[in-house]
Amino acid sequence: MRRLLLLFFLTPVLAQHVVAPGETLFSIARRYGLSVEELARLNGLQDPDRIHPGQVLRLSGEERRILPKGEVRLGGLWVGQATLVRVAGYKEGEVRAFGRTFPLALSQEGLLGYLGVPALEKPGVHRVEFFLEGGRFPFDLEVHPVSYPREVIPLTPGLKARMDPNTLREEREKVIASCRFRLGLPLHFRPPLEKMQITSPFGTRRRYGEGGWTYHEGMDLKAEVGVPVRTAAEGVVVLSEPLFVRGEAVVLDHGLGVCTGYWHLSARKVRLGERVKPGQVIGLVGSTGLSTGPHLHFEVRVAGLPVDPGGFLR
């Protein structure tokens, strides 16, 4: 079999947080169980009072684990976050953790891939296993807690009709199945809207009407109907169609098991199978599907697992 050499241009993805309007360094540090001093040090902040909405803050440094033929390098693990994994000295492998398998691919930097932590995972020590060229290398790694907000969304009769459990499950399975592991695509992530005003962050614990609690699988960005929605990175359109819950929807496959979703659009501007460039307009902001007003729901999945998009934005 011909060996595939992938050329990636990756900014290291460690656990990160995108500053929302009204947040302070103190509130962000408290959310992630950090001190203000530690958060300022990680980000080289001279004045902790001077942060702004849309700014990306690093939450952790990089860990290294020695292997017989090389080493593993990865960022800290946080509930609901993804981190970039780099393995030197091996040519094939995968990572298994939290009941999932995360693919690794060969590049000029060694093996690369992403490891995501479920948004409902309990903090504490968890087993992460690397399967590399037939060898198994287990590590016990600390998963740090994240304090997510809560919100209750009132439902009109029309919106309530879109909350059928079977429909929700079938549509989620369709979204996950659309994204397959592809090779050779660079991952330079950029904001999907020119103005990033987060109205509901990833991981927010949600209750619709009188229903049970769930969590927000993406981030909601405030915008008027018709505002252009742009690709976060180069990719392939693997879904472009109206969905019952997500409304007019587009899913892009970016490689390394990473996909992005764009929900509630008023119009779609791309076709299934189309290869898109970074910053290309793929649709317009709307309020279709299960939506209470105009906005963009922006979602990132790693091996089918929803993770905080903020960790991918530069």
Among positive and negative, which fits the CA dihedral 127, 307, 63, 149? negative
Reduce the DSSP state of residue 309 to 3 states and report it: helix
pLDDT of residue 3: 38
Give the separation between CA 290 and CA 133, rounded to whole angstroms.
45
- Specify whether the CB–CB gap between 78 and 202 falls below 8 A: no
Cβ-based burial of 226 (10 A; exposed 0-12, middle 13-18, buried ≥19):
exposed
pLDDT of residue 246: 96
Give the separation between CA 254 and CA 234, rounded to whole angstroms.
6
Q: Which of 249, 91, 235 is nearest to 171 (CA)?
A: 249
Concatenated DSSP letters of 11-65 = ----SEEEPPTT--HHHHHHHTT--HHHHHHHTT-S-TT---TT-EEE---EEEE
Question: In 210-283, which residue ranges form alpha helices assigned H by DSSP?
Answer: none
Q: Which of 292, 291, 274, 293 is nearest to 282 (CA)?
A: 274
pLDDT of residue 12: 44
Along the 314 residues of the chain, how does pLDDT read in single tens digits? Answer: 333 334 333 444 456 787 888 888 888 888 887 888 888 877 878 787 788 887 878 777 778 899 999 999 998 899 999 998 999 999 999 999 999 999 998 888 889 999 999 999 999 999 999 999 999 999 999 998 888 889 998 878 877 888 888 998 999 999 999 987 676 555 668 999 998 899 999 999 998 887 788 999 999 999 999 999 999 999 999 999 999 999 999 999 998 889 999 999 999 999 999 999 999 999 999 999 999 899 999 999 999 999 999 888 86
Give the separation between CA 198 and CA 216, rounded to whole angstroms.
13
pLDDT of residue 63: 83
Give the separation between CA 165 and CA 38, rounded to whole angstroms.
43
Reduce the DSSP state of residue 311 to 3 states and report it: helix
Beta bridge partners of residue 103, listed in sequence order: 94
pLDDT of residue 187: 67
pLDDT of residue 35: 83
pTM of the model: 0.83
Concatenated DSSP letters of 74-126 = EEPEETT-EEEEEEES-SSEEEEETTEEEEEEEETTEEEEEEE--TTPPSEEE
Concatenated DSSP letters of 132-197 = ETTEEEEEEEEEEP----EEEE---HHHHTT--HHHHHHHHHHHHHH-----S-------SSSS--
Give the separation between CA 307 and CA 228, rounded to whole angstroms.
24
Exposure string for 257-291, b = 16+ CB within 10 A, e = fewer: bbbbbbbbbbebbbeeeeebeebbebbbbbbbbbb
